Chains A and B, each alone.
Chain A
Amino acid sequence: MSRRLQIRNRLDWFTMMLVAAIAVLGWLNIASATAGSEAVDWLTFDGKGGKQLLWLGVCTLIAFLVLNVEGEFFVRISILSYLSLLVVLAAVLVFGKVIGGARSWFAFGSFSLQPSEFAKSTTALMLAWLLSRGDGKLRDLKTRLQSIAIVGLPAGLVLLQPDAGTVLVFGGFVFALYREGLSGNVLVVAFAALVVAVATILSGAGTVAYPFFGPATGVYVLWAVLAGGGGLVLWFLVQSSLPRERKRLKRIGAVAILGALVFSGAMQFGLEKVLAKHQRERIHVLFGLDVGNPDADYNIRHAKAAIGSGGWSGKGYMNGPMTAYAFVPEQETDFIFCTVGEEWGFLGSTAVILLYLTLLLRLIYLAERQRSNFTRVYGYGVASVLFMHVLINVGMVLGLAPVIGIPLPLFSYGGSSLMGFTVLIFILLRLDAERFSVLR
């Protein structure tokens, strides 16, 4: 049996089918979202449906190429590709083209490329390379710091563009790290941070008339409660605990309260001083706060109307007026799920979500069946990145998350994104196909 034949037989065709199904569904919906009331001319590449078809062809080619590369090659180029992408991400900050307020794009004539889409793959590879060395476990502080640095460097560069959505996606690597031994407390701390963040946003948006000082932001009340209430709770806990545990408890408690205060302070600073007005409004809109600007929730209101009007089975393909007549902004890219909701209804939308869930669970299954640590870490990286994209994108469209522009993986219009995910997923499929022949 030739090696090539071996690969073909061991290739995970199920995942490939899922990926192909999602991409084709995406393409169909893009065609509908951009057709307007015109009849779709499928054979020209003038419209976005046609262009996406072109990209699908290109990506099929890329997938074929990736599948024909030795898995060892990806292991070897981990460091080089990671460092190259860092350089490119730095370069885009200087030479990039601004689209939608972020300097994220290299423009080549009529088409543009977004390097951060590929940074997700290289970061996943780099992280896999790091954690597959030695026993690979995340026990020592050095490895942990190295891991954080590997994720933090590209994330930081992306934040400078600024592209908040992609930064959040990099945050998803925490799932891969968790699987590799990062303490579960990280998830607890993340949840606590979320609670403090929401409290900061809500209290910061209000105004309180303070005695002696006059009216000011309500976040001071939150801080007073955090410090005073937290201290009081800690004092009671210390009193009621065994004397030998008191010292440890005091230390943890003090760090927690201080951490919460610093985090809340940083949040407040970020909200008021770093974010632009429209970004702050998007966050306030999500929490139902009155921003005094009727257009602030325009996107999300129209997105909800498109989806909500779909009903059980939708209005039919190419039959959604919200979609056809541009009521939903960015409907072929970030808001493509609205087209699904309007034209395919609850049944179609649920089917798409279940497709993604199946793909994500399948990726975990693939990762877990590896003998190679490298492939497992990489597999979790792939799953994490995809999950974060779906979480933020669908959450935003359904009005559960603030409006943050990131694409729905394999589904939204856009060559860079489609190519990035193709490379990301097909590297895993190639590595997976070699699962019996390598032991790393």
Chain B
Amino acid sequence: MNLKGRMWVIGGLFAFIAVVFIGRLAQLQLGSPEWTDYAARLTESRETLDAARGLIYDRNGQLLVTNQASYDLLYTPRLAREGMDTAAFAALLGWKREALEAAFAKADAYASYRPSIIVRQLPAAEYARISGELWRFPGVKERTRAVRSNQAGLAAQLIGSFGETSADDLKNDAFYRLGDYKGKSGLELQYERELRGRKGVRYHLVDVRNNYQLPLEGGRRDTLAVAGADLTLTLDRDLQAYAERLMAGKRGSVVAIEPATGEVLALVSAPTYDPDLLIGPKRSAHYDSLLHNPGQPLYNRALRGTYRPGSIFKMVQGLIALDEGAIRTNTRIPCDRNIIGCHGPHSYDNLSEAIVHSCNPYFHEVMKRMVQARRSNNLFEDAALGLGNWTERIKRFGFGTDLGGQLPGVRPGSVPDTTYYNGIYGQRSWAFSTIYSIAIGEGELLTTPLQMANLAATIGNRGWYRTPHAVRDVGGRGKPLGVDSLVTTGVDPELFDPVISAMQQVVEGVGGTGRRARTPGISICGKTGTVQNTNALEHSVFMAFAPMDNPQIALSVYVENAGSGGSWAAPIAAQLIESYLADSLSNPEREARILAARDPFPETP
């Protein structure tokens, strides 16, 4: 037996095994990227650097909204396996032990090795109280997170809320990761892209315990976070604060606009709420209670509330009628109270007087002349043509439109047109006699407080307005393009004289309905409105601009269920105008009367 040959068997086996190993190496290292990917998942970690959100200032550079630190408490079940004193931790947090155990169980069910949030948005003061004790609870650590802080608690509905992203947000915008915060409503939502900035990213190599070690690839792929753009609003912080103070305890709204620019100086929807209620661990409880509050504090009445315009609308009717040639400034019309009811001692007014006296028969006749203008011999056809023309003219005043849509959540109200009446009564089966109630601002006509303030600005400007907007500057780049487009009503500026002098008479004239707005040294032009309600007190409405020549401020004030326009809305408007235009307030009694008033208002004006 030649055993020497067996060396080939043994050597061959050695070589065979070497070939198997090299083949296996090729499979692992040169085959699919499976193991490379797996190793990268294990050893690489992507850290997102949150960008500082842009701050919000008022028109004078006063801070309105800033960021503040809050703290989430995270809990990693695996790290807490031994030594978690649940009772002590619950006591520290001021929770029930069962609640904490339930939160722990939920976190454990989600992932035992990954941190879950168990307490959200602890304010700094609360965190400071417990931070010294946290080391006693393994598996619990804190994470700092910036939340919004509305410094003076102003303009809650306009500025809007800031909160955790929803499932839809995550789906629609790849920018967000689970747990990110974003603007949820108002300007915070409208300018979310500008405010949020750009996230940075840092790639790390991590060790087996997921601690960051070295930067990946020397940090070549890392990017810095870019802070969001600051917003400068058109609001005047002092005016806004004063308006909110005057509206406290009432339902309604204030919208103040700078007529020359369309900039919104103040925008109040009352009742309002403290924006800080929607931040912090009790956010959802607070949100629920606000949502179910009968005063509907979350509802922005100034932009979304729709009211019948009432007698304020008569000025628009007069202006269009003048421009259409249906009347002239000296046209007098008898106050025939058989056609439609009226009030006050007058019988044969011209336009100015009719506005001052709010004469219903006058504007009934005016509207009739505009609608039944004999464009056709058929009565119904004539009505349809006349109303069509009238609707177009009305819309140029901003009624039935969103006024450029620059304000968040703004609604158009409604202006009934031929299509609308055709839908109700059928084509060629309605005439002016069917629809006459819109002549005096009642009926199907619905307008918003913003549209009323804009009307005041338009009249003050004698026939044009700039679309109302709330943002002056974004990140130092100036006003966003197109927020203040010029809109003209097409009414000859000369024709505004009788209307403006009538508005001055409303405030200054003997027995004027707006006499409570009279303010020494400032010539205020205004018009009261009283919106009828069934089974409730009227809404008190006042719209005004001042000073008469070169107006600086135009506004509308709505106080719901408070009585006539002159009783509450007019004095509130006057206080605001004075506080904006003058150095000091001249009428402390008037202010005291307003501050003392509370909803519900007594029956007598």
C-alpha gap A175/B3 in the complex (Å)? 12
Which A residues lie at the B interface, using CB under 8 A?
A: 36-37, 137, 175, 178-181, 184, 301-302, 304-312, 321-322, 324-327, 341-342, 345-346, 349-350, 353-354, 356-357, 360-361, 364, 367-368, 380, 383, 387, 390-391, 394-395, 398-400
Question: Are B30 and A179 touching (Cβ within 8 A)?
Answer: no
Query: CA separation between A37 and B206, bound complex, in Å?
Result: 10
- Looking at the complex, which one of A308, A326, A387 makes contact with B29 (CB distance below 8 Å)? A308
Q: A311-B30, A325-B205 are in contact. Are A398 and B24 (CB under 8 A)?
A: yes
Is B588 interfacial (CB 8 A cutoff)? no
- A353 and B208: CB pair below 8 A? no
- In the complex, which residues of chain A have a beta carbon less than 8 angstroms from the beta carbon of B36? 308-309, 311
Check if B25 is an interface residue, CB within 8 A of chain A.
yes
A326 contacts B208, C-beta separation under 8 Å: yes
Contact B3 A181 (CB under 8 A): yes
Complex interface: stretch among B38-46, B153-161, B449-457: B38-46
Residues of chain A within 8 A (CB-CB) of B35 are: 304-305, 307-309
Q: Once bound together, how far apart are the Cα atoms of A301 and B22, in whole Å?
A: 19
Q: Is the CB of B43 within 8 A of A325?
A: yes
Given contacts A179-B3, A357-B14, A357-B15, contact A349 B25 (CB under 8 A): yes
In the complex, what's the smallest C-beta–C-beta distance from A38 to chain B, in angstroms? 10
How near does chain A come to B186, taking the closest CB pair, in angstroms?
46
Closest to A314 in B: B29
**Which B residues fall within an 8 A CB radius of A?**
1, 3-4, 6-7, 9-11, 13-15, 17-18, 20-22, 24-26, 28-30, 34-36, 38-40, 42-44, 205-208, 213-214
Are B42 and A364 interface neighbours, CB within 8 A?
A: no
Check A364–B25 contact: CB distance below 8 A.
no
Q: Can you list 22 A-B pairs, Cβ within 8 angstroms, ordered by A?
A: A178-B6, A179-B10, A305-B38, A305-B39, A306-B39, A308-B38, A312-B29, A312-B30, A321-B39, A322-B39, A325-B205, A325-B208, A342-B39, A349-B29, A353-B18, A354-B18, A360-B11, A387-B14, A391-B17, A398-B28, A399-B24, A400-B21
Whether A346 pairs with B29 at a CB distance below 8 angstroms is yes
The answer to whether A325 touches B11, judged by C-beta atoms less than 8 angstroms apart, is no
Residues on the B chain within 8 Å of A180, using CB: 3
Given the known A-B contacts A179-B3, A322-B43, A326-B207, are A398 and B14 also in contact in the complex, defined by CB atoms under 8 Å? Answer: no
Contact of B42 among A307, A322, A353, A391 (CB under 8 A): A322
Residues A341 and B29 in contact, CB atoms below 8 Å apart: yes
- Is A327 touching B42 in the complex (CB atoms < 8 A)? yes
Per the bound structure, the CA–CA distance linking A324 and B44 in Å amounts to: 13
Cross-interface CB contact of B14 among A178, A342, A361, cutoff 8 Å: A361
Say how far A274's CB is from chain B's closest CB, in angstroms: 28
Q: Known pairs A179-B6, A302-B42, A367-B7. 12 more at Cβ < 8 A?
A: A137-B3, A306-B39, A308-B36, A309-B36, A310-B29, A312-B30, A327-B42, A341-B28, A353-B25, A357-B15, A390-B17, A395-B21
Shortest distance from the beta carbon of B31 to any chain A beta carbon, whole Å:
8
7 closest Cβ pairs, A-B complex:
A308-B35, A325-B207, A309-B39, A321-B43, A305-B39, A308-B28, A357-B18
In this complex, what residue of B is CB-closest to A302? B42
Output the nearest chain B residue to A380 by Cβ-Cβ distance. Answer: B10
User: For residue A326, which residues in chain B have a CB less than 8 angstroms away from its CB?
Assistant: 207-208
* A37-B213, A322-B39, A346-B29 known; A178 vs B10 contact (CB < 8 Å): yes
The residue on B at minimum CB distance from A306 is B39
Residues of A within 8 A of B18 (CB): 353-354, 356-357
Note all chain B residues with C-beta closer than 8 A to A398: 21, 24-25, 28
Contact present for B25 and A341 (CB under 8 Å): yes
Most chain-A Cβ atoms within 10 A of its Cβ — which of B10, B34, B42, B206? B10
Q: Which residues of A contact B29 (CB under 8 A)?
A: 307-308, 310-312, 341, 345-346, 349
Shortest CB–CB separation between residue A54 and chain B, in angstroms? 27
Q: Please give the distance in Å from B468's CB to the nearest CB on chain A.
A: 58
- Chain B nearest CB, measured from A140 CB (Å): 14
- Closest Cβ of chain A to B43, distance in Å, is 4
Q: A309-B40, A325-B205 are in contact. Are A179 and B7 (CB under 8 A)?
A: yes
Contact B39 A364 (CB under 8 A): no
Give the distance to chain B from A380, nearest Cβ to Cβ, in Å.
8
Chain A nearest CB, measured from B219 CB (Å): 14
A350 touches B7 (CB 8 A): no
**CB nearest to A359 among chain B residues:** B14
Does the CB pair A364–B26 fall under 8 Å? no
Report the bound CA distance from A327 to B20 in whole Å. Answer: 26
The CA-CA distance from A184 to B1 in the complex, in Å, is 12
> Which one of A37, A341, A364, A395 lies within 8 Å of B11 (CB-CB)?
A364
**Interface hub of B3, B6, B21, B205 (most chain A Cβ within 10 A):** B21
Bound CA span A305–B7, Å? 37
Contacts known (A309-B39, A311-B36); A325 close to B28, Cβ less than 8 A: no
A306 to B1, CA, bound (A): 48
A367 to chain B minimum Cβ distance, whole angstroms, is 8
Contacts of A327 in B (CB 8 A): 39, 42-43, 207-208
Known A325-B206, A354-B18; judge A307-B3 contact (CB<8 A). Answer: no
Q: A37-B213, A179-B7, A341-B25 in contact; A308/B39 too (CB < 8 A)?
A: yes
Q: Which residue of A lies closest to B31 (CB)?
A: A308
B213 proximity list for chain A (CB < 8 A): 37, 321, 324-325
Q: How far apart are the CA atoms of A360 and B22 in the complex, in Å?
A: 16
Docked-complex contact B39 and A350, CB < 8 angstroms = no
CB distance from B245 to the nearest CB of A (A): 60
Contact partner of B28 (CB less than 8 A), chosen from A36, A304, A324, A367, is A304
Chain A residue with Cβ nearest B28: A308
Tell me, in angstroms, the Cα distance from A181 to B9 when the chains sit together: 13
Closest to A329 in B: B208
Indicate if the CB atoms of B4 and A368 lie closer than 8 Å.
yes
A175 closest partner in B (C-beta): B10
**Measured between C-beta atoms, what is the minimum distance from A18 to chain B in Å?**
14
Cβ–Cβ < 8 Å partners of B9 in chain A:
178, 184
CB distance from B100 to the nearest CB of A (A): 28
Q: Which of A175, A357, A383 has the most CB of B within 10 A?
A: A357
Distance from B515 Cβ to chain A, minimum over Cβ atoms (Å): 82
Docked Cα-Cα span, A368 to B30, in Å, equals 38
Bound form: Cα–Cα A357–B20 in Å: 12
Partner of B10, one of A308, A364, A390: A364
Q: Which residue of A lies closest to B216 (CB)?
A: A321
Give A326 to B1 CA distance when docked, in angstroms.
53
B24 to chain A: which residues have CB within 8 Å? 398-400
Cα-based distance from A305 to B213 in the complex (angstroms): 19
Complex Cα gap A390–B13 (Å): 13
| Cβ-defined contact, A307 with B208, below 8 A | no
On whether the beta carbons of A346 and B30 are closer than 8 Å, the reply is yes
What's the minimum C-beta distance from A175 to chain B, rounded to whole angstroms?
Answer: 5
In the bound assembly, the distance between CA atoms of A248 and B431 in angstroms comes to 123
Output the residue of A181, A302, A321, A357 with the most chain B CB within 10 A. Answer: A321
- Minimum CB–CB distance from B377 to chain A (whole Å) comes to 89
Residues of B within 8 A of A391 (CB): 17
Q: Which residues of B contact A302 (CB under 8 A)?
A: 42
A401 to B18, CA, bound (A): 14
A-chain residues with CB within 8 Å of residue B26 when the two chains form the complex: 346
Q: Are B42 and A308 touching (Cβ within 8 A)?
A: no
Are B34 and A321 in contact (CB-based, < 8 A)?
A: no
A342 to B10: give the CA distance in the assembly, Å. Answer: 31
Q: Is the CB of B7 within 8 A of A37?
A: no
Bound: A345/B39 CA distance, A: 14
Q: Is the CB of B25 within 8 A of A346?
A: yes
Chain A residue numbers with a CB within 8 Å of B207 are 36, 324-327
With A37-B213, A180-B3 as known contacts, state yes or no: A307 contacts B10, CB within 8 Å.
Answer: no
Complex: how many Å from CA A120 to CA B39? 37
Inter-chain contacts of A356 with B (CB < 8 A): 18
Measured between beta carbons, the chain B residues less than 8 angstroms from A400 are 20-21, 24
Quick one: closest A residue to B211, CB to CB? A325
B520 → chain A, closest Cβ, in Å?
78
CA distance A346 to B23 in the complex (A): 10
- Most A CB contacts (10 A, CB to CB) among B20, B29, B205 go to B29
